[in-house]
Amino acid sequence: MRYPFPVGTVDFIQGDEAIARAAILAGCRFYAGYPITPASEIFEAMSIYMPLVDGVSIQMEDEIGSIAAVVGASWAGAKSMTATSGPGFSLMMENLGYAIMTETPLVLVNVQRSGPSTGQPTLAAQGDLMQAIWGTHGDHSLIVLAPATVQEAFDMTIKAFNLAEKYRTPVILLTDAEVGHMRERVYAPHPDELELIYRKLPANEEEAKYPFGDIHGDLVPPMPVFGKGHHTYVTGLTHDEKGRPKTVESEIHEKLLKRIVEKIEKNKKDIVDYEGYGLEDAEIVIIGFGIVTRSAMRAVKELRKKGIKAGLLKLNVLWPFDFELIERIAEKAGKIYVVEMNLGQLYHMVKEGANGKVPVELIPKIGGEIHTPKEIIERIKDNLR
Amino acid sequence: MAKEIYTKYKMAKYLRKEALPTALCPGCGGGTVLNAFANAIDQLGIDPRDLVVVSGIGCSAWIASPYFLADTLHTTHGRAIAYATGVKVGLPDKKVVVISGDGDLAGIGGNHLIHAARRNIDITVILVNNFIYGMTGGQVAPTTPFGAITTTSPYRNVEHPLNIAETVTSAGASYVARWTTFHVYQLIESIKRALSVKGFALVEAISQCPVQFGRRNRMKTPTEMLRWFQRNSVLISKARNMSPNELEGKIVVGELVNREKPEFTEELNSLIEEVSKHYGLGDNNAD
Amino acid sequence: MGWVITMQIRLAGFGGQGVILAGVILGDAAAIEGLNVIQTQDYGSQSRGGHSIADLIISKDPIYDLIVTKADVLLALAQLGYDSTKESLREGGLLIVDTELVQPDREFTGAPFTRIAEEEVGLALTVNMVALGYLVAKTNIVKKESVEEAIRRRVPKGTEEINLKAFRIGYEEGTK
């Protein structure tokens, strides 16, 4: 198989472009989108590349339609993706819930910009974190990844597809305008170097009768995709193991929802990923995700030069959330700072994890600019005085 | 275990037995549409394994799911056609059918309907128009006649109904027809044609909801509603010579359009071939 | 100009001068050499005529600072670009200007890039490559050959030779 971009080598590309290339390497062959700043470059790249790899990229009438088509294509058997930003992300919440309820693998990229509403279309923000995790109505679970560099945007896109296929769930790649639009040196692996996961299909006709049954005891049912004569029954209504609507039986609802949540929670160890710096002896720990952790890293290095024992915890996976990890850090650290480009969202989860064992303080910033290392350092030093 | 159902109804083989009897009210037109669809499939000899049926939310959506025995995707309110677009692009060799109601497909989902018709994607839509939001309790719909009584227009409806078949024709569909549940044989024939046409095909099936619409509009029984369909229907050939005044309150039935046009998934596939040929990843231009 | 661990470079002009392409090519050359590099841009909402800025941070270390705060090098191809960016050049930083289009109020070097592009290359559009050649010669941030490879990869097909010619003329000018 040949690719319409260099593989097994380095290139100098934008985050959006990296996401599109990585998706194709991950086996994505269906993309549906709607134009929106700052995610349009993903769509444009997909439009160029897809026909060259026997794939399809189509423009729908809105973001509701985009994610709907992606769910449809996923049930048709294709690895599928869409990308958007805040306003479109809001529109996608309806069918994101459908994808969760019907356990449909897909990747949804949110290149975050400042909101609410139209906000600051070209500027970066991290204000959609809570929406990514909790935006659709009803109890649920899903997976949220957050890259801080163009290389991570590339690598995490591949990981997003693997997790979506492995756990039959939507995966959100929560990036931002800064990562999306900046160019960096990226190593694009050769396909032979990649380990790709494809959804588990029913081994036989008997297994195909249970599209929503935990028949292997791993909480993830095999997916009887359409067109194979299975007469698969898929509905967003509460359904039993065969997919039949059961809208008033409370125990069936509980069993279904608990499995959907537990297939993520019980596999937390496999999914969760983070990077620590200086955590062994850190008295002050900065916690963050995405682009802003780069400023935080500089701040930690500068603080250490000044003799202040600082450390950084960079969260690469935001859901499932490793509350226990935060608690372990809280047991050792003297203080935790949460740095994020919003008015406090990760902050609340970190506080819950810290469980009162250590003060947790928020260093927020909004308006489209990333915190400078200086701003972080000064805030921390002010408190030390 | 599937329930044992004793029936002489020949079309029962196309239905999910465990979902029967249907949850449709006695006298509902939905059963007639289900019957017409099953007969069309039967007469065309389509193997249900080659069918994917997609529906939205509402009584009419239930015709497809749970009752029809095929791969079925019962989706969110108004979005069935957008979901079906992904299914069809992914499985271009399968027949993809959307069955849902007027509120679902032409109200909340109106934009998807128009744009799917514009793309002329090979999806067959059976739109069951009963002038009302039935499942939620009889609220006013974008198809409710001017002056009609509903639970959210309790004095009278001050809005004008959308002419769905005409709208979809303008939007560019390959095939559009409208019949009522009174015209069962014509309905079957049009569904057969819609399934055979390459391109976007809409069959608008005007259907009775005696419980939520008829009861509040002086047509308490199903037969009264069917009689209303019979008396008010005008064949399109005749309607072409009638003035707007004469057509006021009439139901124009027949085939509105049947035309050959390039189809979306075929265009996508020929684009892939074209692009691979001109810009393809042959041996010498690896990047 | 000697290499420090991290270099902040800012290229400024107006839309249509190819400032961002020049930035991308310089960044690509750094990537070819295995250096860490990020490139960001800022431009008016119009595609032509507004200000246009390309920022680069090139480093032997991992890059944690993402914003050009104190530029080591500022290249200004238009007065509009110079006026809006001059404050960002650090004390003792290198200012390079198109000497016929920018009137700087501090120490500078430069050449009439636009006129050189018109008269010596024969295509005004190549002003970005002339200026880039000059910048590379003056700073030695990356090797000449790396930039030439990046030019071949990045400019529209069929324009490789004229862009390379412009780059080399600018480079010569910078070694004077």
pTM metric for this prediction:
0.95
As a whole number, mean pLDDT of residues B269-279 equals 91
Q: Looking at chain A from residue 26 to 55, which residues have their Cβ under 8 Å from any Cβ of chain C?
A: none
Res C109 pLDDT > 50 = yes
Distance between CA A275 and CA A147 in Å, rounded?
Answer: 12
Residues in chain A closer than 8 A to B49 (CB atoms): 228-229, 231
Distance from the Cα of A317 to chain C's closest Cα (Å) equals 20
Phi-psi region of A116 (alpha: psi -120 to 50; beta: other; left: phi over 0): beta
Note whether residue B15 is domain-resident: no
Closest CA to B38 of B18, B56, B61, B13: B13
Note whether residue B287 is domain-resident: no
Asked if the Cβ–Cβ distance from A178 to C40 is below 8 Å, we say yes
Q: Is the dihedral of CA C74, C149, A19, A40 positive or negative?
A: positive
Taking only the tens place, the pLDDT of each residue in A167-193 is: 999 999 999 999 999 999 999 999 999
Asked if the Cβ–Cβ distance from A70 to B52 is below 8 Å, we say no
Res C3 pLDDT > 90 = no
Which of B14, B46, B51, B79 should one mutate to test binding to chain A, selecting the residue with the greatest count of A CBs within 10 A? B79
Distance from the Cα of C37 to chain A's closest Cα (Å) equals 6
Note whether residue B2 is domain-resident: no
User: Which chains contact C through at least 3 pairs of Cβ atoms less than 8 Å apart?
Assistant: A
Which of C6, C33, C38 should one mutate to test binding to chain A, selecting the residue with the greatest count of A CBs within 10 A? C38
Contact assessment for residue A230 and residue A208, using Cβ atoms and an 8 Å cutoff: yes
Distance from the Cα of C141 to chain A's closest Cα (Å) equals 16
Residues in chain A closer than 8 A to B73 (CB atoms): 72, 75, 226, 234
Distance from the Cα of B117 to chain A's closest Cα (Å) equals 12
Q: What is residue B48's predicted lDDT score, i.e. its pLDDT?
A: 96
As a whole number, mean pLDDT of residues A89-96 equals 98
Residue A17 sits at the chain C interface (C-beta within 8 Å): no
Identify which of C37, C39, C64 has the shortest CB distance to residue A297. Answer: C64
Higher pLDDT, B195 or C42: B195
Which of A10, A12, A369 should one mutate to test binding to chain C, selecting the residue with the greatest count of C CBs within 10 A? A12
Q: Is the dihedral of CA C68, C73, C76, C77 positive or negative?
A: negative
A313: Cβ–Cβ under 8 A, 6 or more apart, which residues?
A: A274, A275, A276, A279, A285, A286, A287, A288, A325, A326, A329
Distance from the Cα of B82 to chain A's closest Cα (Å) equals 5
Residues in chain A closer than 8 A to B104 (CB atoms): none
A140: Cβ–Cβ under 8 A, 6 or more apart, which residues?
A: A97, A100, A101, A257, A260, A261
Closest CA to C134 of C85, C169, C90: C169
Distance from the Cα of A31 to chain C's closest Cα (Å) equals 26
Domains with residue ranges and CATH for chain A: 9-193 (3.40.50.970), 275-384 (3.40.50.920)
Question: What residue segments make up the domains of chain C, in order of their start?
Answer: 6-175
At the top level of CATH, the class of C6-175 is alpha beta
Residues in chain B closer than 8 A to A58 (CB atoms): 85, 89, 268
How many cross-chain Cβ pairs, A to B, lie less than 8 Å apart? 150
Give the confidence band of C47 by pLDDT, cuts at 50, 70, 90: low
Distance from the Cα of B216 to chain A's closest Cα (Å) equals 29
Which of A185, A292, A302 should one mutate to test binding to chain C, selecting the residue with the greatest count of C CBs within 10 A? A185
Note whether residue B12 is domain-resident: no
Closest CA to B57 of A133, A210, A247, A211: A247
Q: What is residue B286's predicted lDDT score, i.e. its pLDDT?
A: 41
Give the confidence band of B285 by pLDDT, cuts at 50, 70, 90: very low
Identify which of B52, B89, B276 has the shortest CB distance to residue A30. Answer: B89
Q: What is the CATH number of the domain that holds B96?
A: 3.40.50.970
Residues in chain A closer than 8 A to C38 (CB atoms): 150, 182-184
Which chain A residue shows the shortest CA-CA distance from C54? A182
Asked if the Cβ–Cβ distance from B48 to A231 is below 8 Å, we say yes
Identify which of A58, A95, A244 has the shortest CB distance to residue B79. Answer: A95
Distance between CA C48 and CA C161 in Å, rounded?
Answer: 25
As a whole number, mean pLDDT of residues C131-146 equals 97
Q: What is residue C42's predicted lDDT score, i.e. its pLDDT?
A: 83
Residues in chain A closer than 8 A to B74 (CB atoms): 233-237, 245
Asked if the Cβ–Cβ distance from A183 to C65 is below 8 Å, we say no
Residues in chain C closer than 8 A to A298 (CB atoms): 64-65
Residues in chain C closer than 8 A to A178 (CB atoms): 40, 66
Question: Beta strands of chain B (E only): which ranges?
Answer: 51-55, 71-74, 95-101, 123-129, 132-133, 139-140, 175-180, 201-206, 233-235, 251-258
Asked if the Cβ–Cβ distance from C35 to A182 is below 8 Å, we say no
Asked if the Cβ–Cβ distance from A245 to B66 is below 8 Å, we say yes
Phi-psi region of A73 (alpha: psi -120 to 50; beta: other; left: phi over 0): alpha
As a whole number, mean pLDDT of residues B127-144 equals 97
Q: What is residue A284's predicted lDDT score, i.e. its pLDDT?
A: 97
Structural domain that includes position B78: 24-279
Q: Are strands A310-315 and A284-288 parallel, antiparallel or unpaired?
A: parallel
Res A19 pLDDT > 50 = yes
Asked if the Cβ–Cβ distance from A73 to B87 is below 8 Å, we say yes
Which chain A residue shows the shortest CA-CA distance from C154? A12
Residues in chain C closer than 8 A to A368 (CB atoms): none
Total structural domains within chain B? 1
Which of C64, C146, C147, C154 should one mutate to test binding to chain A, selecting the residue with the greatest count of A CBs within 10 A? C64
Question: What is the secondary structure of A123-139 as a DSSP string?
Answer: EE--TTHHHHHH-SSSS
Distance from the Cα of C67 to chain A's closest Cα (Å) equals 8
Distance between CA A200 and CA A167 in Å, rounded?
Answer: 9
Distance from the Cα of B91 to chain A's closest Cα (Å) equals 6
Note whether residue B215 is domain-resident: yes
Res C144 pLDDT > 70 = yes
Give the confidence band of A225 by pLDDT, cuts at 50, 70, 90: very high
Q: What is residue B49's predicted lDDT score, i.e. its pLDDT?
A: 96
Distance between CA A215 and CA A204 in Å, rounded?
Answer: 12
Asked if the Cβ–Cβ distance from C27 to A183 is below 8 Å, we say yes
Report helix, strand or coil for C82: helix
Asked if the Cβ–Cβ distance from B83 to A69 is below 8 Å, we say yes
Predicted complex: ipTM over 0.85: yes
Note whether residue B18 is domain-resident: no
Distance between CA B120 and CA C175 in Å, rounded?
Answer: 62
Q: What is residue B7's predicted lDDT score, i.e. its pLDDT?
A: 85
As a whole number, mean pLDDT of residues A135-153 equals 98
Identify which of C39, C64, C65 has the shortest CB distance to residue A183. Answer: C39
Taking only the tens place, the pLDDT of each residue in A287-314 is: 999 999 999 999 999 999 999 999 999 9
Note whether residue B78 is domain-resident: yes
Taking only the tens place, the pLDDT of each residue in A236-270 is: 999 999 999 999 999 999 999 999 999 999 999 99
In terms of residues, how long is chain C? 176
The single-letter code of the amino acid at A84 is T
User: Which chains contact B through at least 3 pairs of Cβ atoms less than 8 Å apart?
Assistant: A
Asked if the Cβ–Cβ distance from B71 to A231 is below 8 Å, we say yes
Backbone angles phi, psi at B79, to 5 degrees: -100, 5
Note whether residue B174 is domain-resident: yes
Residue with tokens 């996976």: A317
Q: What is residue B282's predicted lDDT score, i.e. its pLDDT?
A: 58
The rounded percent of chain A whose pLDDT value lies above 90 is 98
Contact assessment for residue B249 and residue B163, using Cβ atoms and an 8 Å cutoff: no
Give the full edge-to-edge strand order of the sheet including A335-340.
Answer: A274-277, A310-315, A284-288, A335-340, A360-364
Taking only the tens place, the pLDDT of each residue in A37-67 is: 999 999 999 999 999 999 999 999 999 999 9
Q: What is the token pair recorded at A60? A: 């729908």
The rounded percent of chain B whose pLDDT value lies above 70 is 96
Q: Looking at chain A from residue 123 to 182, which residues have their Cβ under 8 Å from any Cβ of chain C?
A: 150, 178, 181-182
Residues in chain A closer than 8 A to C41 (CB atoms): 181
